[in-house]
Amino acid sequence: MKRKIKLMAEYNYSPLWDMETADNLDLDELPLSSSIQKKLSNWAEIYNQIINWDNPADSHFFDAVSQDNFEREGVNIWRQLQEELSPNYQIFYFSEKQQRLLTPEDAETNNKLRMG
C-alpha cells in the first residue's frame, strides 16, 4: 500500500504531512533529493513570512501576484515530489489559492494547474 503524503503550507511547520496520522513530517524522513528539500524549505519560509502574529486570522499574501507565484511554486514542488517518491507514495497538494485538496489524479488529468 502506498504511503499518502500531503504537501500543505502551515506556519512554522514542515510542509509535508502524513495523511493517515496527520503527523507533520521531517524532510529527512523521506528519500528526497537535496534540491527538493531546499525548495520545500524555501516555500515554507515564504509562507511563514505572511503570518500576522498580532492577528493570525488577518494573515494573507501581499497581493495576487505573490499568491500566484506561491501557488505556481507549490504545484511545481508537488510534481517533483510525485516524480521523486513514485511509486511508493501518493502525493496530495492543498492549494491555498483554490482552498481544496488536490489528488495525484488532478495533476495527471489537469495539466492546466500551472497558474498564470
Domain ranges of the chain: 3-113
Phi, psi of 73 (to 5 degrees): -65, -40
Of residues 110 and 6, more confidence is placed in 6
- Looking at residue 54, the DSSP 8-state letter turns out to be T
| pTM flag (> 0.85) | yes
- Measured CA distances, 29 to 3, 4, 8, 17, 111 (Å): 13, 14, 17, 11, 29
Query: Using CA atoms, how far apart are residues 54 and 62, in angstroms rounded to an integer?
Result: 16
Q: What is the pLDDT of residues 34-55, one digit of tens each?
A: 999 999 999 999 999 998 889 9
Query: Using CA atoms, how far apart are residues 17 and 1, in angstroms rounded to an integer?
Result: 17
For the cut 50, the answer to whether the pLDDT of residue 115 exceeds it is: no
